[in-house]
Structure 1
Amino acid sequence: MARPSAADRLLRLLALPAWVAARPGVTVREAAEHFEVSEETIIRDVEALWVSGPRDAMPDELVDFDALELEEGRLRLTTSLGLDTPLRLTSQEALALQLSLRVLADLLQGDPQAASQGERAEQTLAGLLGHGRMEQAGGAQEAPQALAVVRRALALRRRLRIVYVDAADRRSQREVDPAQLESDGSHLYLRAWCLSTRAERSFRLDRVLEAEVLDTPATAHRLARSPRARAAQRKREKANTDRPRATLHLDRRARWLTEQVPCESVTQEEDGTLTAVVLGRDEQWLVSLILSCGRDLLGVQPPGLAAQAARAARSALGAYERLGEEG
C-alpha cells in the first residue's frame, strides 16, 4: 500500500476543522470514512491540530477540540482560529478549472459516465462564477470565448490571429500557429509558434482579448517537449517583460533590421511600411539602434525615447562641428 504523502495529510489537516465544525459531535469513525483513512489517523490529526496555532501562542490560543467528547469517540471543535471556514476557490482558480474541463471534454466523449460527471462539474463552476460566490482575484472573463476559438483552430489546424495583453499590460496583435493547450494548475495556456517573434510562446488564455481563426493552414513547428524546457521558456518570457521596448515605424527598406534585432512583433502596414516592437537590452542600446536607422526611421514611440535619441544626435553633431573647427 502506498504511503500517504505529507501533502495529503496537510490537506486533510486543513479540511478537518471545517468539516467537524459543520457536524458538531460527529463520530471519529464517520470522519475516518469521509477522509478515507483509519480512525487512528484521525486521532493523530486531532492531536496535531491541538498544538497548532500562531507562533509563540499561549495554550488558550491554539486550535482546540472537546477532550471529553473525543474520549467518547466524537469530535467537537471548540476553538477554530478561522479554520472552520471552508477554503474557497478564487475566480481565477475556478476559471482555470472550468477551462481545463472544457479541454477534457473531447477526451471524455468515449466515456459517457466520465463525460457526464465532467459536465456537471463544469456547470457547478459556471454557476459559481456567474453568481460571484467566490473571492474575486481579477482575470478576464473572455477566456471561455477565446478557448472555443482556440479549440476550433486546433481542430482545423488553422492559424490564429490574437490580441494579447502581457504581464506588463502591453497589448499586441499576433498571428500564431497553435500547437496545444496545457495548464500549470492555475491557468490555461496556448502553446504556439508566434510569427512575430519567430519563436515558441505560451499565451495565457485569460489574457487573450480577441481570437480569430484564419484561412491559412497552421505550419507544424518543432516545440520544446519537456516540462522543464517549457518552464524555462516561460521564465525567459517573464524576464522579457522587464526589458525596455521601442515601437519603430520603418520604411520598407529597413526590413533587414527586423531580422537582425530582437523584435516582439513586426507588422506590415497597408502602405508597405513596417511597425516593429523592438526589445532592448537597455535604453541606451535602443537609442543607439534608433540613431543607426538613419532616414529609414519614420517614427518612434514612446516620445521620451525619441527625445533621448534627438539629444544624442545633437550632441554628436556638436562634437563633430567642434572637431572640425579645431582642425
Structure 2
Amino acid sequence: MLGSAERRRRHQPWADDVRARLRTVDLLPLRALIPPSGYVPDFLTPPPDGTGPRKIAEELGMVRATPSEHFVAEVSWMAADPGTPVTWRQEAAPLHRHMLAQPAQAIALITDLLQTYWDLALEPHWRRLHGGLQSDIRSRMQVIEGSGAAPVFSSLNPRIAWRDQELTVRSAYDYQEELGGRGIVLVPSVFCGPEVLTMTPPQQSMIVYPRTGVEEMWHRHTSDRPGPLAALLGGVRSAVLEALLVPASTGDLAEAVNVTPGAISQHVAVLRQCDLVTSRRHGRRVIHSLTETGETLVRGAVAPGAGRHSA
C-alpha cells in the first residue's frame, strides 16, 4: 500500500507519518517479497490458530523459524508467478537470487526488517488499529449469534459470495478445495483493500478482507475539530470510550489517553454509572471494557457521516 500513491490516499495521514519515519530504513529486501499484485509468500503472514491474540514477538518468532526449504519454495513460486508484474520481477530478480542462495540469512534479515517496520510504522498506531479490527470482529460475531454464518460471509466484501454451501472469492487464481470440516479463518485488515487475500491448504485456509470505514478512522484522529462524542462527553471521556474498543487496564488507558491513572479511575467511574463501561478484576489489574450501550454509542459517533447535518 505504501508503494502505491493511489492506494495511499485512503490512509494519507498515516502514510505521511510513516514515510517520514522510514526515510532512513532500507526496505528493499522486504519489498522484494511483497509484489504489487500476485502471490505473497505465506511465511510472512502466520494465520491465527484460534488460541487468542499473539504478541508481535510470537509472530516474528514464527517468521524467524521458517524452514529454509519452505522459504525457498515460496520465494521461487512468487518469482515465477505470472500474477506479479513483469517489471517488478525483473527489478527484484537480483535480490531473489541472493535470498535463494542464502535462505537462512535472508530469513533473519527479513524478520529484523519486520521488527523495525512494526516499531516505526504500526506500533505507534496499534491501539487505534486494533480497536477498529476488534470492533469489526465483535459486530460480525453478533450477526453469527443472531442469524448464522451465511449473512456474515455475504457481507464481507463484494468479491466474496456464499451460495449453496460454497464460499467463492473472486480472484485471478483458479483454485477449489473441500474444507472437510477444517474450517476457515476470517481476518479483517486495515490495509489490504480493495483486494481480498486468501491462504489455501496446506496452510490454514484464510480470507483477509478489507475493514470498512478506514478513511473515517484516520480523519477523526487528525481533524482539529472535536468529534460529536467529545462534544457530548468531553475530550477525556470520549477518548476513554474510543480507547476501550479494545478492553484495557487503568494503566493502559492512562498511557493511551495521556492522563494520570487517578483521573482515569474517576472518569471510568462516571462512565460505569452511565452503563457505558463495565469493569472486572483480573489478577492485580482491573480490566475495563465497553458495554453494549457504550459500543453502540462509540461506533455511532465515529461512523461515516456522524456529526454532519443538513440545513
> Does TM-score exceed 0.5, indicating one fold?
no
Greater C-alpha radius of gyration: 1
TM range (shorter): under 0.3
| Structure (1/2) with the larger strand percentage | 1
| Structure (1/2) with the larger helix percentage | 2
TM-score (structure 1 length as normaliser): 0.26
TM-score (structure 2 length as normaliser): 0.27
Higher relative contact order (CA 8 A, sep 6+): 2
